[in-house]
Amino acid sequence: MDIQSLFAARSYASTRPALEPAPETTATAKQSFVALAEDFAQTVQAGEETAKAAMVGKADPHALVQALAQSELAVETAVTVRNKVVEAYQEILRMPV
Q: In the chain, what are the domain boundaries?
A: 21-94
Spell out the per-residue pLDDT of the chain, length 97, in tens. 567 777 777 776 666 565 566 666 666 878 888 998 899 999 999 999 999 999 998 888 999 999 999 999 999 999 999 999 999 999 999 988 7
CB 54 within 8 A of CB 61: yes
Question: According to the model, what pLDDT value does residue 59 have?
Answer: 86
CB 41 within 8 A of CB 24: no
Model confidence, pTM: 0.64
% helix, strand, coil for the chain, step of 5? 85, 0, 15
The rounded distance, in Å, linking the Cα atoms of 73 and 67 is 10
